[in-house]
Amino acid sequence: MSPKRQSLLPFFLILPAVIFFLIFFALPLISGIQTAFTTPEGELTLANFEKIYGKSFIKAVFNTLSLVAIIIPIQLALALVIALLVNTRLFGTSKFLFICAIPIALSEIVAGIIWLSIFTEKGYLNVMLHTLGFLKQPTIYLSYEKPATLFMTIALTEIWRATAIVMLIILPGLQMIHKDYFDTADIFGASRLQKLRYVTLPMLKPTIRTSLIIRTVLAFQMFAPVLVLAGRAFPVLASETYRIQFFTRNIHLAAAYALIIMVISTAFVLFYMRSLRTRWSA
Amino acid sequence: MKKQEVICYIAMVIISLFVLVPIILITIGTFTPRLELYKWPRGLIPSRFTSDSFISFAQSYGVMNGLKNSITVAVLTVIFSLLIGIPAGYSLSRFKFKGKSLFTVGVLTTRMFPIAILAVPLVKIYMGLGIYDSILGVAFIHTIFAFPFAILISHSIFASVPREFEEVAMVLGCSRLGAFRRTTLPLVAPGIAAIAIFAFIISWNEVFAATLLTLHNRTLPALIVARLEATTLDFLFASAFFMLVPCLVFIFIIRKRLLRMWGIILR
Amino acid sequence: MAEVRLENVCKSFGDVKAVDNISLHVKDGEFIVLLGPSGCGKTTTLRCVAGLEHVDEGKIFIDERDVTNLPPAQRGLSMVFQSYAVFPHMTVFDNIAFGLKLRKASPDQIKERVKEVASLVQIEDLIDRYPYQLSGGQRQRVALARALAVEPKVLLLDEPLSNLDAALRLQMRAELKLLQKKSKVTTLYVTHDQVEAMSMGDRIAIIRNGSLEQVDTPERVFNHPENTFVGNFIGSPPMNMLECDVVEGGSIAIGNFTYKLPESVVKAIRKTKTSRVILGIRPKNITITKEKRKNAFMAKIGVIEPIGEELVVNLTVDGKLLRVIASPSQDLRMGEKVWLTPDTRKIHIFDKKTGKNLL
């Protein structure tokens, strides 16, 4: 190979990725912004945002943000517990790890249906309560009259499904912390909790930040569990985007919605980046 | 056993049950006679196990076609992701070049956006390109989900194979490509297989983009979403079980690599 | 059997000049060692010869054939890496046979040749094993056998012994040298270990910051360093370097003392008209006495390090550190003031400005 061609080889190898990135990531991003700010006739406008702004929009924003606010701290805590358990390296922890990782392979929609089978009127929750004698007639959980219950079932489904993602990011981060730090803490007489507080958590900060970013971004595209469990009774941003695209067939409104999701989620990412900065690591 | 160990084991059992019980329940539900699902009172264990729901799901209109679409889209996603991801991952692991860090940052930013949402503007672009409601169109957006993973994971897999292997081979008489084929490739093959499985699962499971970008050529998840409002529990249970099984098999195959792969993504 | 010639070879990585205008003529059958501190460009030089790095400027010849633009495969050489790079997915046999297969040798030829080189490096019993079943030293032999199997014109060795433990390193050093003498293959050997270089090389090429400092036999490099860098780098503990002013009457000033130089040295200094020089003297070539001697200077003893049969005595002269090797039979104490007498025949005088040896 001639020297000239050899020096071009690395660029040649990333070229497909770059082209693909431009066409299917950058282009839709730009086109989405453009579509959101234009009318079907191509005129510049803010009307799309005015049109989607209303009761259901506020509800969707509120619902999405409350889900994020509830799900993510719980998932983070649960993931940390699982990771710490795995890291005890007791007998059986590798099987435990595998079990905890299973949901990562499951579709949103499968998770939704699985929990539907539990919370539906004649579902397994009522069946079990009945078998144990707590209940005569089935309770209805999934009804638009009970937004709080809907909220909890959706949150539970998401916690069940996506804690694995957080855990699988946290665990390698935890394992990267060198044992010497803990030994040092031991020598100074730190208790378990003190070690968690002063060694583990501070050193995990960059990892936690990454997991928060990935998890929050995913939460903004959460869609199927909501649709399966609540239908239209519990609008979130992604399901509303879908509804507008399919039922109004107005791509400009949908694009405006999509843009809002992008903006909110980017705001979250930036917030995490700033607030969880560490001075000793990138 | 120490008290702390007992507490750890209790916690592990509780968490394991929390993960496993719902999966067992959906399995029971799938093989429960259809009418019993609507009966009250009913027991946890059905009067008999039957594959009726499963068979009627498989036979209902559009399902086989959806399955075919899902598999085709997933296979295309695997092929595209590997074709795009492996050369890029190799390049990152073997060369220093201008713009390398910019490229890496670009790859990493994809995970800072809810990519599925890009399906909305893509509807318009696809209509222009004539690939709206097509298998290819869905495969493209699924590739956008999967290829950053493919790049990052293959990058680290290649980095774990010393470049000296290729260099020795080149000194001893191989071309660059020949050296790659004879030394690095056999060593990374299992890792590449894991990437392929990962890409397959991502595509097989994806709902939002597939739903938005198709009308008639629906993948299974998109088909289920479209039927949600007018369907029966047995159809849903069977569909969930059907979607679940291949994923369980696949994740079992790559279980040893799971941790390493995700560890890589975090960096 | 081949000569290797580098002509004004340059190679940069970004702003870093890894190889800066190196010209070197390696004779047929010669064992030449490229020696230098880490990051000096010795490995890059070797990789340029191998064709793994493309030179920016200059030319490389193997046996009068310009190989500058040829890929590694067509240069007819072999290489052993620091990490050995023994293929983990191949048996020892397949590893050794690798190059032969690429050369389309017949299975019988391959078998025979593999057996031959395997017995040469004494691994004939390991032929069916996989690398993970081998120790570091055995892997090293496999890498060597693989390199020798193709009967290369030139053998390139990049710190091949640095991953071995000390005892094995000593053994392999001798074996490797013997092997090279027997096979008479032209060899370029990279190391940062000066003892290794001294004991193995026919000639040593000392490299610093990408440039050749001196190319000479081990004896010449040790006894006639061309500049302060070589003087300092070769020998352990390193050569003492004292900065001195030249004073009238063929002497130099060391602190408050004047040290009289022999006439030949004085002449050499005069020729350059320099007024400030560096006196270089090896720790072995200084005698410590308690009573004053002629042409001696005073020093204060600091830390004394016993290293078995000898002592390394750290002394300060005029605020500068000096090391002298002394015998334990001398009753030396820390803090004591003693007299130092350099062996006048063994001193080196370097020009302060250029660092060049004036003798």
pLDDT at B253: 86
pLDDT tens per residue across span B5-42: 999 999 999 999 999 999 999 999 999 998 888 888 88
Q: Token pair 């391959």 is at which residue?
A: C110
pLDDT tens per residue across span C316-358: 988 889 999 999 888 899 999 999 999 988 999 999 988 999 8
Distance of CA B112 to the CA centre of its chain: 19
Q: B173 and C50 in contact by Cβ < 8 A?
A: no
| For residue A243, pLDDT beyond 70 | yes
CB-nearest to C50 from B171, B176, B182 is: B171
**Cis? peptide before B41, omega within 30° of 0:** yes
Name which of C40, C39, C42 is nearest C24 in CA terms: C42
A9 in contact with C at a CB cutoff of 8 Å? no
Name which of C110, C104, C145, C99 is nearest C125 in CA terms: C145
- Cα separation values, A90 from A83, A87, A93, A97, C98, Å: 12, 8, 6, 11, 45
Return d(Cα C306, Cα B168) in angstroms, integer: 45
Residues from chain A contacting residue C71 (CB–CB below 8 Å)? 1
- Cα separation values, C227 from C206, C354, C357, Å: 11, 8, 5
Determine the distance in angstroms separating the CA of B99 from the nearest CA of chain C, rounded to an integer: 13
Return d(Cα A203, Cα C213) in angstroms, integer: 47
Residue B35: phi and psi, rounded to 5, are: -70, -30
pLDDT tens per residue across span A78-126: 999 999 999 888 888 889 999 999 998 899 999 999 999 999 988 999 9
pLDDT at A246: 85
Q: What residue type is B75 in one-letter code? A: V
Angle made by CA atoms B54, B55, B61, in degrees to the nearest 5: 105
Q: B172 and C78 in contact by Cβ < 8 A?
A: yes
Residues 167-196 of A with CB under 8 A from C: none
| For residue A19, pLDDT beyond 80 | yes
Residue C133 DSSP code: G
Contact partners for chain B, using 3 or more CB pairs closer than 8 A, are: A, C
Residue C348: phi and psi, rounded to 5, are: -125, 140
Strand order in the sheet with C348-351: C257-260, C251-254, C240-247, C276-281, C348-351
How many of the other CB atoms lie within 10 Å of CB of C185?
A: 23
Return d(Cα B153, Cα B89) in angstroms, integer: 8
Distance of CA A47 to the CA centre of its chain: 30
Average pLDDT value for residue range C293-315: 92
Average pLDDT value for residue range B154-159: 90
Domain residue limits, chain B: 1-60, 61-265
Beta strands C337-342 and C297-306 are antiparallel
Residue C90: phi and psi, rounded to 5, are: -125, 150
Of the pLDDT bands very low, low, confident and very high (cuts 50, 70, 90), residue A1 is very low
How many of the other CB atoms lie within 10 Å of CB of B51?
A: 12
Name which of B181, B192, B165, B170 is nearest C131 in CA terms: B165
The CA radius of gyration of chain C, in Å to the nearest whole number, is 25
Name which of B107, A126, A209 is nearest A201 in CA terms: A209
Lowest model confidence (mean pLDDT) among A235-244, C95-104, C188-197, C253-262:
C253-262
A256 in contact with B at a CB cutoff of 8 Å? no
Burial (CB < 10 A; 0-12, 13-18, 19+), residue B64, is exposed
How many of the other CB atoms lie within 10 Å of CB of C196?
A: 21
With contact defined as beta carbons under 8 Å apart, do B85 and B150 qualify? yes
Q: Token pair 């017995």 is at which residue?
A: C119
Q: Which two tokens stand for residue B265?
A: 């993504």
Share of chain B above pLDDT 70, in %: 96
Closest A-chain CA to C74 = A1
CA atoms within 13 A on the CB side of C13: 13
Residue C203 DSSP code: E
Name which of C19, C90, C20 is nearest C52 in CA terms: C19
C16 in contact with B at a CB cutoff of 8 Å? no
pLDDT tens per residue across span B64-110: 999 999 999 999 999 999 999 999 999 999 998 889 999 998 888 88
Question: What residues form DSSP beta bridges with C188?
Answer: C32, C156
Share of chain B above pLDDT 90, in %: 66
Q: C69 and A1 in contact by Cβ < 8 A?
A: no
| For residue A2, pLDDT beyond 60 | no
Q: SS3 for B198? A: helix
With contact defined as beta carbons under 8 Å apart, do C64 and C2 qualify? no
Closest C-chain CA to A7 = C54
pLDDT tens per residue across span A160-179: 999 998 998 888 888 888 88
Of the pLDDT bands very low, low, confident and very high (cuts 50, 70, 90), residue A282 is very low
Q: Which CATH superfamily is domain B61-265 in?
A: MetI-like (1.10.3720.10)
pLDDT at A224: 92
Locate all alpha helices (DSSP H) within chain C, ordered by sequence: 42-50, 92-102, 107-120, 136-149, 166-183, 194-200, 218-223, 228-233, 263-272
Of the pLDDT bands very low, low, confident and very high (cuts 50, 70, 90), residue B264 is low
Name which of A220, A54, A158, A35 is nearest B117 in CA terms: A220
pLDDT at B262: 62
Return d(Cα B209, Cα B141) in angstroms, integer: 7
| For residue C267, pLDDT beyond 90 | no
pLDDT tens per residue across span C139-185: 999 999 999 999 999 999 999 998 888 898 999 999 999 999 999 99
ipTM, 2 decimals? 0.90
Mean pLDDT score of chain A, rounded to an integer?
A: 89
Average pLDDT value for residue range A231-250: 89
pLDDT at A277: 77
A6 in contact with C at a CB cutoff of 8 Å? yes
Lowest model confidence (mean pLDDT) among C8-12, C227-231, C259-263:
C259-263
Of the pLDDT bands very low, low, confident and very high (cuts 50, 70, 90), residue B267 is very low
Q: SS3 for A143? A: coil
Average pLDDT value for residue range A54-67: 92
Q: B174 and C81 in contact by Cβ < 8 A?
A: no
Determine the distance in angstroms separating the CA of A9 from the nearest CA of chain C, rounded to an integer: 14
Average pLDDT value for residue range A142-169: 92
Q: Which two tokens stand for residue B250?
A: 């696949």
Q: Which fold has domain A57-275?
A: MetI-like fold (1.10.3720)
pLDDT at C274: 84
- Residue C14: its H or E element: none
Residues from chain C contacting residue B187 (CB–CB below 8 Å)? 88-89
Average pLDDT value for residue range C12-23: 92
Q: B173 and C73 in contact by Cβ < 8 A?
A: yes
Closest C-chain CA to B184 = C87
Q: Token pair 């070539």 is at which residue?
A: C285
Domains of chain C by start residue, with CATH? 4-233 (3.40.50.300), 240-351 (2.40.50.140)
Question: Please, which residues have CB within 8 angstroms of residue C195's CB and are 6 or more apart in sequence?
Answer: C236
Of the pLDDT bands very low, low, confident and very high (cuts 50, 70, 90), residue C249 is confident
Q: Which two tokens stand for residue B131?
A: 């690939």
> Regarding predicted confidence, which is higher, C18 or B39?
C18
pLDDT at C272: 83
A147 in contact with B at a CB cutoff of 8 Å? no
Residue C39 DSSP code: T
Residues from chain A contacting residue C10 (CB–CB below 8 Å)? none
Question: Please, which residues have CB within 8 angstroms of residue A36's CB and are 6 or more apart in sequence?
Answer: A48, A49, A252, A255, A256, A258, A259
pLDDT at C278: 92
Q: C71 and A1 in contact by Cβ < 8 A?
A: yes
| For residue A191, pLDDT beyond 70 | yes
pLDDT tens per residue across span C49-96: 999 999 999 999 999 999 999 999 999 999 999 999 999 999 999 999
Return d(Cα C287, Cα C341) in angstroms, integer: 5
With contact defined as beta carbons under 8 Å apart, do C26 and C63 qualify? no
Strand order in the sheet with C337-342: C286-289, C337-342, C297-306, C311-317, C320-326
